[in-house]
Amino acid sequence: MSAFADDDRGLHYGDGLFETIRFVGTHAPLWDWHVQRLTAGCLRLSLPAPDPTELREHALTAAAEHAQTVIKIVLTAGSGPRGYARPSPLVPRLRLFVQAFVARAPVDLCLRWCHTRYAVQPLLAGIKHLNRIENVLARNEWATEFDEGLMLDTRSRVIGATAANVFVRISDRWLTPSVHRSGIAGVGRRWLLAHLGAEIGDLSRRDVLGANQCVLINALRGPLAATELGPTRWQPDAQVRELQRAWQQLFKTPKVTER
Amino acid sequence: MSAFADDDRGLHYGDGLFETIRFVGTHAPLWDWHVQRLTAGCLRLSLPAPDPTELREHALTAAAEHAQTVIKIVLTAGSGPRGYARPSPLVPRLRLFVQAFVARAPVDLCLRWCHTRYAVQPLLAGIKHLNRIENVLARNEWATEFDEGLMLDTRSRVIGATAANVFVRISDRWLTPSVHRSGIAGVGRRWLLAHLGAEIGDLSRRDVLGANQCVLINALRGPLAATELGPTRWQPDAQVRELQRAWQQLFKTPKVTER
């Protein structure tokens, strides 16, 4: 494992952002949305945004090494002296972490409720910043007995899973929680919002437990059906399976390399 | 600058803790309290706590290099694969960052109110974890026009300064905000609580502005007097100067090296 500078503000303060992007060949169907979120995060944290063309060049070079690739981009406020004040000039540090990706057939998920709650913090909500202790603590409440855990905020609103967004169908409306106060505006979530014409709204535990379908999504694994949460059992129906096929289609046929 | 592993969970998720400790020679008067807070942080984050004896050995070796030293301890959840789930077994990574420390005579402070607010998150409050974007954003609201900024939580309670705790005297009672919902339980704060017999309580902006003295403290610089905040002017009085002398005394005469 190569080296990261010891004085990087990403390490010392979590002063940065990340994206995790799936490539099939050199094709990343959701690339633009990842870059848009990264750019929005930079604006929120007052960090200089990377040049999208250069970023794409780097990523395409890395993606060419594998049939399928997951590229994690980490952008930090770079090196600096001790203290919360950023150096001037600030020279951001951009690193790509590249791994071969093995697509797995969708599995259905057994869920739990996490005890760890998201703080309400509109300033940091939605963006994919590096301050992720809440997600870490939530995920580490269990080992392998469950597939994912749902997290509430400190006001008992459902926000999402530890590493995915959540969608529920109530009657025939699809709903997903707002991520303006806590949580992450997932790129998979954006795709599913558009694909389903879903609505954004506050959800309670009871709303989720009473829903007739429950789907989790992140940008690597796509939509996965939940089948179990506490006393509730769901039977994924044709509409849920169709979503999964649509996602697989999205990542199936590489377009001609756009380079 | 030497290297930190690229896959360290401190970088990727802020999964860790830190302490910043001042040494005079090999004497760190508040050492035990730093270690107690670090240990409490480990408990809260479910990380294995470092062995206090070994930690002290490392620190003393490092401190022996300078007349005065600031040692920043960074403890992370170590290396791991991508994802919020911690590796099993978890091997924490402990690093000491060592710098010569130059003690400065106390200066009085011109303060401001920060726009950036602390989220209310009891799970992470008090401990010195690596998720510090709130402090970074608050500190970077100004450059050099002010000496420090006071932060509120999202419910408009005063919590502290970006890198210090705050104490105010109202009538003849000294008060400092609770750090059970947001903020950091400073080691300097602990010393000043004991030294002043101060009380812990909720403070509004108005309470601070109406106080007859205002003091900031952190473990490196000790108690500093605020003289200006918005329309309010404070004239540091004999009691405040006495605090500063007591702090200087604490760090003045190295005891015989305890090694």
Average pLDDT of the residues in B67-90: 97
- Once rounded to an integer, what is the mean pLDDT over residues B71-84? 97
Cα B139–B143–B149 angle (5° rounding)?
40
And the tokens for A259?
Answer: 């380079």
What domains does chain B contain, in order, with CATH numbers? 9-100 (3.30.470.10), 109-250 (3.20.10.10)
Best A2, A7, A9, A12 residue to mutate vs chain B (most B CBs within 10 Å) = A12
Is pLDDT of B257 > 90? no
Please compute the mean of the pLDDT values over residues B222-226 and round it to a whole number: 98
The SS3 call for residue B161 is: strand
d(CA A233, CA A37): 34
Distance CA B38, CA B47 (A): 10
Q: Is the pLDDT of residue B1 over 50?
A: no
Q: For the purposes of burial, counting CB atoms within 10 Å of the CB of B18, is it exposed (0-12), middle (13-18) or buried (19 or more)?
A: buried
pLDDT of residue A254: 57
Q: Residue B3 and residue A7: Cβ atoms within 8 Å? A: no
Q: If you ran DSSP here, which 8-state letter would residue B255 be given?
A: P
- The string of pLDDT tens digits covering residues A28-87 is 999 999 999 999 999 999 999 999 999 999 999 999 999 999 999 999 999 999 999 999
Asked if A156 reaches chain B (Cβ–Cβ under 8 Å), the answer is no
- Mean pLDDT value across chain B: 95
pLDDT of residue A79: 96
Cα dihedral across residues B190, B192, B193, B197: positive or negative: positive
The answer to whether the Cβ–Cβ distance between A136 and B20 falls below 8 Å is no
Q: Taking the CB of residue B94, how many other CB atoms lie within 10 A of it?
A: 16
* Arithmetic mean of pLDDT, A197-225: 98
Residue with tokens 């009657």: A171
In the block, residue with structure tokens 């997932």:
A186
- Residue B252 has a pLDDT of 87
pLDDT on residue A214: 98
**Best residue in B84, B90, B135 for a mutation probing chain A (most A CBs within 10 Å):** B84
Instruction: Assess whether pLDDT exceeds 60 at residue B173.
Output: yes
Task: Report pTM.
Answer: 0.96
Which of A115, A107, A28 shows the shortest CA–CA distance to A64? A28
Location of structure tokens 């602990």: B190
Kindly report the length of chain B: 259
CA B171, CA B190: separation in Å to the nearest integer? 22
Where does the pLDDT of residue A1 fall: very low under 50, low under 70, confident under 90, or very high at 90 and above?
very low
> Quick one: tokens of A257?
């390399």
Residues of chain A contacting residue B137, judged by C-beta atoms under 8 Å apart = 45-46, 123
Please give the pLDDT value at position B196: 97
Task: Indicate if the pLDDT at residue A94 is higher than 70.
Answer: yes
Confidence of residue A173 (pLDDT cuts 50, 70, 90): very high
Average pLDDT score over residue span A135-150: 98
